[in-house]
Structure 1
Amino acid sequence: MSRQALYDGWTLRAAPGPQVPAEIAGQAVAATVPGCVHTDLLDAGLIPDPYLDDNEVALAWIGRTDWHYRTSFRRPTGHHDRVDLVCAGLDTVATLTVNGVEVGRTENMHRGYRFDVRSVLRDGDNELAITFDSAYRYAEAQQERLGDRPNAYPEPFHFIRKMACNFGWDWGPTLVTAGIWQDISLHAWSTARLATVRPLVTMDGRDGQVELHVEVERAANVPLTVRADVAGASADVVIPAGQRTAVLTLTVREPALWWPRGYGEQMRHPIEVTLHGPDGDALDAWSHRIGFRSVRLDTTADEHGTPFALSVNDVPVFVRGVNWIPDDVFPTRITRDRLAERFDQAIAANVNMLRVWGGGRYESADFYDLADERGLLVQQDFLFACAAYPEEEPFGSEVAAEAAEQVTRLAPYPSLVLWTGNNENIWGWHDWDWQQDLAGRTWGRGYYLDVLPRIVGELDPTRPYWPGSPWSGSEAIHPNDPAHGTTHIWDVWNTDDYTRYREYVPRFVAEFGYQAPPAYATLRRTLSDEPLAHDSPGMAHHQKAADGDAKLQRGLDAHLPAPADFDDWHYLTQLNQARAIQLGVEHFRSHRGVCAGTIVWQLNDCWPVTSWSAVDGDGRRKPLWYALRHAYADRLLTVQPRDGGLALVAVNETAEAWTAPTAVTRFTLTGEPRAKTSVDLDVPAYSSVVLALPADLARPDEGRRELLVAEAGATAQRALWFFAEDRDVDWPAAAWDATVEPFDGGQRVRVTAGTVLRDLTLFPDRLDPSASVDKALVTLLPGESTTFIVQADELLDEAALTARPVLRCVNDVG
């Protein structure tokens, strides 16, 4: 058996067409494989960077062009029963020829393909050519053939099995890709090979069980033997001549378990599988790492409705999640190191789950391996989003094959704990005026309620399946009913103020979000606008949400003083995003016991854009990230409105009880105490307590000039409550003293407040794009101090570090 990578010698050429620019027409371009057309043209200097300014618009022709890839290779040496061309991922509608003979066609970006090419190979050089038809032409032809179906955007993404967000989204560019986007190789083999290996891992008491399902492909009708080893347990089975499948059962006594981060260690165990011929020779091998853990989803009706509560190893896990979109439009630019950086950003923000959203892709092996390694739970959507999807052929067969392949591929990863049928499509059918337009045509219901649950049930019954996000658990209940199952809350962003989050006591919030622009350094790298303004051409192009700027302005008007310039606008919109999500998360967590989790929209971006992300398209943390770190802390102290008054809520997501003397004080803005109470906090493990505050604390003498401060224990965990919106507060003009001290690796910026300083934030990337800071959104009373740790490639100007627009607070606006 041999495997021969086919990465070298590729060229790329555009098929003739009037849309192809003259400087590209007829030209052979060196192609990187794996890769795509856009990145190859960019590397060759033939197109501008599609992420800058509005260059995206000028590159629309790429998605409407056919592309020809070509390379040559040498035939594998020696005798083999089979030589297969193995394509892990082709994007998307492709015709493959070897030495001029067609060997296969593909129509699905989300599947791998294998073609027997032995009969068409010749000695010496062989030519492999792959033609990618325009994804637009294919999708539009299917749309015309089957009849249109409603969707969220005027693009035909639901008529092709391709990454939907390639066709543009309310945070993404329209860059319709083509190319060999995953590994491609020749696989030469004889007698038999391992076609699929599917380990189903469960717990039986304290013992681990691995039910190993093996499927072989044969070139000879002879007996075969499969052997498996994991954690000291071994098994083997004979597959008789004429049969293709086998099941091996391995019992591991009291294995070390895999736990989500914060609950225990992430122990994984190598599993080795070998296939042997009748003479005992090894024919093929497969290896992976698995984790022993159990997963349970509790949806048993209770007095509050239908819960959606996840348990791992019989321990309930309150989900502190973020939604994940593809980290780049061009997948081959997403390296393992880049994923690790993004995962570490999530973990540092106290996140414990990533939901892989259904308009992107099934992620790479590196993604799930890193999640296993770091203890991040993964919810994986099947790839359907915001549209009515046709169920007719070829889509019915493609979806079933795609789902079976991906469920099998991802079975070994313990971090994957939930499959979801779609994103918002069942909700769309109910509420987005689809039914009249569909006029009885298929829209995807059969996928979500029949095909996909059957495939998961047959191939991986160890993991729960949920038909949609959102989904109530029953077709008899509205799919986005907050009292049942999962809910998405988007009225806040679209129509209502973010304080409306407090009107919800949901069982599980799978999406909610609020927008803000990316970091200033990201804007300056991306846009040539002079001057920058919220509505300057580049800013406007990189705002993809419908009425996005108007919604940002509505949020500012409701809460914050009017910005005097772009610097104010940038700071305040980023601040308002952070405030909105912190309010929502703290409110939902304060109802622990009814609500079992939140998944914020969204962690990351695929390019530089104004969006709902906490980490922008250049990987920089927005103020939201710091707010999320606070709101998702293992131990959270928060002041919440309750029953006409105020309550102190303490939430403990650790295995140890949280006990701490706690003081709650009503201060004036000048730092004078007006009322105070003390409590001894005692919060059991994995629980919360709600303590009503006395009326003299909850009712200010002068709401525009007072705030509450709650502090718990020696760690001084702090919660704040302001009695008026910032726009209405009688803020004193901001005053502070600041010192800057260099140290090996950066600078310490110590700020001592002369007045109250509301949400003090340092933006060192305004001085150096490499600069970052350890904290943000710090509120200080007069006389209090904080120290920011700034890291950058070079020392930054000390005066600039401690002055506007780098050092900001709410009461210096205007």
Structure 2
Amino acid sequence: MGSYRALHDGWTLTGAGHSVDASVPGCVHTDLLAAGVIDDPYLDDNELRQEWIGRTDWVYETTFDWRPDPLVPRADLVCDGLDTIAVLTLNGTEIGRTANMHRGYRFDVADRLVPGENTLRVAFTSARNHAEAERDRLGDRPNAYPEPFNFIRKMACSFGWDWGPTLITAGIWRPIGLHTWAGGRLARVRPLVTLTEDGDGRIELHVDVERASADPLVLTAAVAGVRVEHTLQPGEGTAVLVLDVPAPARWWPHSLGDQPLHPVDVALTTTGGTSLDEWHRRVGFRDACLDTTDGAFTLVVNDVPVFARGVNWIPDDALVTRITRTRLAERLGQAVEANVDTIRVWGGGLYESDEFYELCNELGLLVLQDFPFACAAYPEEEPHASEVAAEARENVVRLAPHPSLVAWTGNNENIWGWHDWDWQPALGDRTWGAGYYFDLLPGIVAELDPTRPYWPGSPWSGDHDTHPNEPSRGTMHIWDVWNRVDYSHYRDHRPRFVAEFGFQAPPAYATLRRAISDDPLTPESPGLAHHQKAADGNVKLRRGLDDHLPAPRDFDDWHFLTQVNQARAITLGVEHFRSLRPYCMGSVVWQLNDCWPVTSWSAIDGDGRRKPLWYALRRAYADRLLTVQPREHGPAVVAVNDGRTPWTGEIEVTRRALDGTILAEAVFPLDLPAHAATTVPLPPDLATPGDPSAEIVVASAGDTRSLWFPAEDKEINFPVPRYDAEVTAFDGGYDVTVTARTLLRDLTLLADRLDPGAVADRALVTLLPGETTTFRVRTDATRDADALTARPVLRCVNDVRPGKAPAP
């Protein structure tokens, strides 16, 4: 009896003297770009000339034909997402107002529709102007950026960030349509999925029904061959249907097992069997909790403590309506390929789409979800508090079916900001969000989804009497490394769980060349400078290089070495944190992805290309890690096993000259259970170099290897790199086989330097003399084989020779 009709066609957009065709779902920027009114804001510094868009009021309008059906008297306009301050009119009569990008709206329009042509108009007020007016009304509050994003319930990073453009969007950003119905509809279905102590599954389906009839209605629910039925008597609008499933296969993160998903079907019918409404989702049976004993912060899934091998997620495009399921599948697939098992959805972005969480379910990714508050003091006065409550209630229920979602977090860095960022004198007695994080949000989660834990903030120590970023308790963020000190200082921290730490590098060369027309291209050229949003970003990049690597001689050196340095910094941090297992049980790198082409902390750049960091993460996050770590009495080998089976064998350790000559060696037994780590101190003949600038320590266990250079690269007497290279074509690309005649440090094939679409399967490979590796390069382009084996495509750190000009 019910039906849904999308209203996505025939829209026009008007504002600031422009009138163009509009795409729905979409936004103002994409419509203006498609019409040729603006240039691509991601290219050069075009962003700077588009500030007027966010200052403009915009109107979307369409007409549609309507034919009433007397048997289906109810009609609702369903708006899944409006961005953000809008007034909706139908045939000249106001039907509703919105003020929140993070929630949906439903308006009864049965009495406003007319037979024949109907006109729907959605008028958007400038989000920036509205936020500034709220700031003036309520009084300013501290903010990490000079924009009033904390005074409007809109994606905060629309207003710019230290990795993102300022593109203050407006538009119908999620589907909009007419839902017609009779008798009743499923207003809300809230599944609580649990496991009993005996391993059986239970689903409590809390169902709310909106009625248009006094007749009895029938609810049925089914999963995995189990079916229950309940009759709603006249006047009754809620029910709880319990489905008990004997011994279901459990859902696991991909690092621990499989991801069985079970379709759940709910139907609302008349007593005669006429269908009124349906609801379908897939759920996974799993238990997830947080172990916070003695200050710990450990995700426990199906009774197994998980070391979170994580990355932070930001919206994958600043113009979020361009994000498709295909794009999400590619990006999340790249995370899984890098051995990531945990995604933290950062609080300056969004509650992501259902497709995002469905993909995480399928791929076995654990999701830590921030509520959308970040880096600012947020007002708790009305109407803000009511909007926050409405969006939280809607999204906690919407995301409840997804087994990938394992914890809610109240905000990003706001509690930390209140403690440490001089907010308190500026705030006085004004509200700043504490009521949300410590009262409203945990109350909503406890009421609507008690199956999942809630944590007030990231970072948060778990105790009001302990500093929120205290490393020995709860979660912490580490930003002194990027901002003030060398990345070796990651080892100064002994955290229980690191929810953010990161180091910058520019995007791939092909990404830069697509987005920036500077000639010549230099670190300080105007376009590249505009695509570096971090305060003193290039200064910090250079500081990081100066501490470790030879001085770059030209832009190609700078680009390659800064990418290598990013990978080295994060590798050092990840390996240090993993070596502290089980004291530390989480490493969540800032960040996986970018929302446009920019120099940033990402592993995958704004065009979807993998930076060297991605390859470093794949190695550092492997199930089995061997790492050499400084300890109180000298270097030690730490073996970490986050795999599902024991790791047995031998650890072979050698101290070698750079030409490969073995100076000392030893063999240690390895018998390591799953989900464990062990430390093997090295004896003096292995731990103490005779000449730090000319030696290396190599530790290996089967195919797993770790290298320890006792000196920084800039101090090492690296040989001039020599190698033999062979290029073999195959259908879809080339195999480039390199045999080292000298040590080659962090050998990398930058395939995009030849073909923007080319991808190499590995990077940052250090070869000892006589060793061989093969890079598989997938590309449709036909290239001279010699170009694949020379600068600037094939690079290693020791081809940057102090005082020597680069080879032509």
CA distance in 1, matches of 2:232, 2:436: 34
SS at match of 2:540: helix
TM-superposed deviation, 1:277: 2.7
8 Å CA contact 1:604–1:614 kept in 2: the answer is yes
CA distance in 1, matches of 2:780, 2:378: 49
Check if 1:657 corresponds to 2:639. no
Matches within 5 A, 1:169-568: 169-204=161-196, 205-301=198-294, 306-568=295-557
SS at match of 2:452: coil
Of residues 740, 757, 765 in structure 1, which corresponds to 2:752?
A: 765
SS at match of 1:120: coil
Check if 1:133 corresponds to 2:125. yes
Check if 1:806 corresponds to 2:793. yes
8 Å CA contact 2:68–2:115 kept in 1: the answer is no
CA distance in 2, matches of 1:652, 1:430: 37
TM-aligned CA distance change 1:737 to 1:90, over 3 Å? same
Q: Residue in 1 aligned with 2:729?
A: 742
Q: Residue in 1 aligned with 2:14?
A: 13
The one-letter code matched in structure 2 to 1:738 is A
Of residues 19, 35, 45 in structure 2, which corresponds to 1:44?
A: 35
CA distance in 1, matches of 2:591, 2:234: 52
TM-superposed deviation, 1:310: 0.8
SS at match of 2:134: helix
Q: Residue in 1 aligned with 2:5?
A: 4
TM-superposed deviation, 1:279: 3.9
CA distance in 1, matches of 2:160, 2:342: 26
Superposed CA deviations along residues 171-196 of structure 1, whole A, max 9, x for unmatched, are 00000000000000001111211100
Q: Residue in 2 aligned with 1:91?
A: 83
Of residues 715, 723, 733 in structure 2, which corresponds to 1:728?
A: 715
Check if 1:60 corresponds to 2:61. no
Check if 1:618 corresponds to 2:607. yes
SS at match of 2:460: coil
Of residues 664, 667, 675 in structure 1, which corresponds to 2:656?
A: 667
Q: Residue in 2 aligned with 1:688?
A: 677
Superposed CA deviations along residues 712-771 of structure 1, whole A, max 9, x for unmatched, are 12x2x1100001000111111111121111112111111111211111111010111011
The one-letter code matched in structure 2 to 1:321 is G
TM-superposed deviation, 1:73: 0.9
8 Å CA contact 1:747–1:795 kept in 2: the answer is no
CA distance in 1, matches of 2:276, 2:141: 48
Taking structure 2 as the reference length, the TM-score comes to: 0.98
TM-superposed deviation, 1:518: 0.1
CA distance in 2, matches of 1:109, 1:561: 48
SS at match of 1:339: helix
CA distance in 1, matches of 2:227, 2:626: 50
8 Å CA contact 2:262–2:283 kept in 1: the answer is yes
Of residues 128, 137, 152 in structure 1, which corresponds to 2:144?
A: 152
Q: Residue in 2 aligned with 1:17?
A: none
Taking structure 1 as the reference length, the TM-score comes to: 0.97
SS at match of 1:473: coil
CA distance in 1, matches of 2:233, 2:469: 51
CA distance in 2, matches of 1:149, 1:723: 49
Matches within 5 A, 1:685-724: 685-713=674-702, 715=703, 717-724=704-711
The one-letter code matched in structure 1 to 2:289 is R
SS at match of 2:477: strand
CA distance in 1, matches of 2:790, 2:797: 14
SS at match of 2:649: strand
8 Å CA contact 1:742–1:795 kept in 2: the answer is no
Superposed CA deviations along residues 578-618 of structure 1, whole A, max 9, x for unmatched, are 00000000000001110011100000000000000000000
SS at match of 2:150: helix
Runs of 4+ in 1 over 6 A off after TM superposition: none
SS at match of 1:168: strand
The one-letter code matched in structure 2 to 1:799 is D
Of residues 756, 776, 783 in structure 2, which corresponds to 1:789?
A: 776
SS at match of 1:39: helix
The one-letter code matched in structure 1 to 2:64 is F
Please give the root-mean-square deviation of Cα atoms over the aligned residues, in Å.
Answer: 0.9
TM-superposed deviation, 1:76: 4.3
Superposed CA deviations along residues 534-574 of structure 1, whole A, max 9, x for unmatched, are 01000100000011011101100100010011100000100
8 Å CA contact 2:746–2:766 kept in 1: the answer is yes
Q: Residue in 2 aligned with 1:575?
A: 564
Superposed CA deviations along residues 59-78 of structure 1, whole A, max 9, x for unmatched, are 11000000011101122441
Q: Residue in 1 aligned with 2:665?
A: 676
Q: Residue in 1 aligned with 2:26?
A: 35
TM-superposed deviation, 1:278: 4.3
The one-letter code matched in structure 2 to 1:462 is T
Identity %: 65
The one-letter code matched in structure 1 to 2:224 is A
Check if 1:775 corresponds to 2:762. yes
SS at match of 1:616: coil
SS at match of 2:677: strand
8 Å CA contact 1:603–1:613 kept in 2: the answer is yes
The one-letter code matched in structure 1 to 2:100 is N
CA distance in 1, matches of 2:561, 2:49: 33
TM-superposed deviation, 1:785: 1.4
Superposed CA deviations along residues 63-118 of structure 1, whole A, max 9, x for unmatched, are 00000111011224412231110000000000000000000000000010000111
The one-letter code matched in structure 2 to 1:616 is D
Of residues 89, 92, 103 in structure 2, which corresponds to 1:111?
A: 103
TM-superposed deviation, 1:796: 2.3
CA distance in 2, matches of 1:796, 1:345: 27
The one-letter code matched in structure 1 to 2:315 is P
The one-letter code matched in structure 1 to 2:532 is Q
CA distance in 2, matches of 1:671, 1:281: 79
CA distance in 1, matches of 2:346, 2:509: 27
The one-letter code matched in structure 1 to 2:578 is R
The one-letter code matched in structure 1 to 2:231 is V
CA distance in 1, matches of 2:244, 2:27: 45
8 Å CA contact 1:385–1:424 kept in 2: the answer is yes
CA distance in 2, matches of 1:684, 1:587: 20
CA distance in 2, matches of 1:282, 1:121: 25
SS at match of 2:490: helix
8 Å CA contact 1:76–1:188 kept in 2: the answer is no
SS at match of 1:399: helix
